[in-house]
Amino acid sequence: MENVSNSEINSDQLIKQFYKPDYDILFNKIKSIKTPIKTDLLKALLDGSWHSELELIRIAKKQEKYVGTVTLGTIVRSLNHVLTNDYVEKKIINEKLFYKLSDNYVGLTRAAYTKYQYVNHKLE
């Protein structure tokens, strides 16, 4: 049997891989989002794929025409703050910025967002 030292184990990676957040907490946080731009961006990120910064700006501009890279960055920071710290990930691919939902949150977010739409539709 191998002898694994503590220096070889990265606790941040273990937490990201195995930690699954609570669905009810995530649902309540999604329900508290009242900004249409944030909900549209969240809906675009539900597929769990990487989306370019320009693609997300185009989506946001449908709600508000004065959205650029700074506003998008602020919205992403706000989502990460409201929901959790690593909710929306950023990555530079071919010198362009891309965003996606963290793998730990994709399934839960889909379920919570579907329930959120159902509850909102039922109230209307």
Task: Give pLDDT tens digits for 69-115.
Answer: 999 999 899 888 887 777 899 999 999 999 999 888 888 888 887 87
Query: Which letter does DSSP use for residue 5 in this model?
Result: -
pTM of the predicted model as reported, rounded to 2 decimal places: 0.72
Pairing mode, strands 96-101 and 51-52 = antiparallel
Q: What is the CATH number of domain 22-123?
A: 1.10.10.10
Q: Is the pLDDT of residue 17 over 50?
A: yes
1: which residues sit within 8 A by CB, 6+ positions away?
Answer: none
Which comes out higher in pLDDT, residue 11 or 61? 61
Which comes out higher in pLDDT, residue 6 or 117? 117
Question: Given this model, what pLDDT does residue 5 score?
Answer: 52
Average per-residue pLDDT for the chain? 80
Which ranges of the chain does DSSP label H, i.e. alpha helix? 11-18, 23-31, 36-45, 53-61, 69-82, 106-123
Q: Is the pLDDT of residue 44 over 80?
A: yes
Q: Where are the domains of the chain?
A: 22-123
Question: Given this model, what pLDDT does residue 79 score?
Answer: 85
Question: Given this model, what pLDDT does residue 10 score?
Answer: 65
Question: Given this model, what pLDDT does residue 6 score?
Answer: 53
DSSP, collapsed to helix, strand or coil, labels residue 51 as strand
